[in-house]
Amino acid sequence: MPKAVAGPEIERLIQLLARLPGLGPRSARRAALHLIKKREQLMTPLADALAVARQKIVVCTTCGSIDTRNPCTVCTDPRRDASLIVVVADVADLWALERAGALNARYHVLGGTLSPLDGVGPQDLTIEALVSRAHGEEVKEVILALSATVDGQTTAHYITDLLQDAHVRVTRLAHGVPVGGELDYLDEGTLSAAIRQRTPI
């Protein structure tokens, strides 16, 4: 939006919205106009929600997830299996696994993956806290739910090495054909893994 058209407050709102992932300059303008049109129904609640989030959201000192309480809802849930820790790179991965609903475990959020090229070393992640948690008496298995990328797998290997002294089983996610996926669109690596790890019907 050119500067002469409206006050700087509107331009500032657009610029901030454009910094959200998924919104570019054009969609940020659309979002700003939408907010302005829906002032009572959307702008006011969103401003309030952001103010509340800013005050209340904390990082769980146990698992690294975000919540409005510390320790977080997951860490304090007595119905979750405390013997199972699922290691994820990011909170988004934790949410994705919870949506899948395949687990009733606790989590450990690393805060990223090891990436020498980006200057991310072990000290930048919560790996030390994970190792100390894995030595806890009740922990029996650590599932490394990390991306099947070079960085993800490097991180998985690094953690596996560190956990050798802890008396836990270390596992990782299965490779294979995505549910609903068509074979001829899959890469060779995935297909090879799916063949190697085939399961009886």
* Nearest distance from C-beta of residue 181 to its own copies, angstroms: 18
Place of tokens 């899959």: 186
- Do you know the residue count of the chain? 201
Helical segments of the chain, H only: 8-17, 25-37, 44-56, 91-100, 127-134, 150-162, 188-196
Among residues 40 and 137, whose Cβ is nearest to its own copies? 40
* Nearest distance from C-beta of residue 53 to its own copies, angstroms: 5
Amino acid, single-letter form, for residue 128: E
* Nearest distance from C-beta of residue 192 to its own copies, angstroms: 29
Q: Which residues contribute to the site for its own copies (CB under 8 A)? A: 1-2, 4-10, 12-13, 16-17, 19-23, 27, 29-36, 39, 42-47, 49-54, 56-57, 65-69, 72-74, 77, 90-92, 94-95, 98-99, 101
Among residues 92 and 148, whose Cβ is nearest to its own copies? 92
Among residues 34 and 135, whose Cβ is nearest to its own copies? 34
Among residues 71 and 131, whose Cβ is nearest to its own copies? 71
Place of tokens 């650590």: 142
* Nearest distance from C-beta of residue 31 to its own copies, angstroms: 4
Among residues 55 and 199, whose Cβ is nearest to its own copies? 55
- The sheet carrying 141-144 orders its strands as 105-109, 81-88, 141-144, 169-172
- In angstroms, the CA 146 to CA 151 distance is 9
Using alpha carbons only, give the angle 59, 165, 121 rounded to the nearest 5 degrees: 45
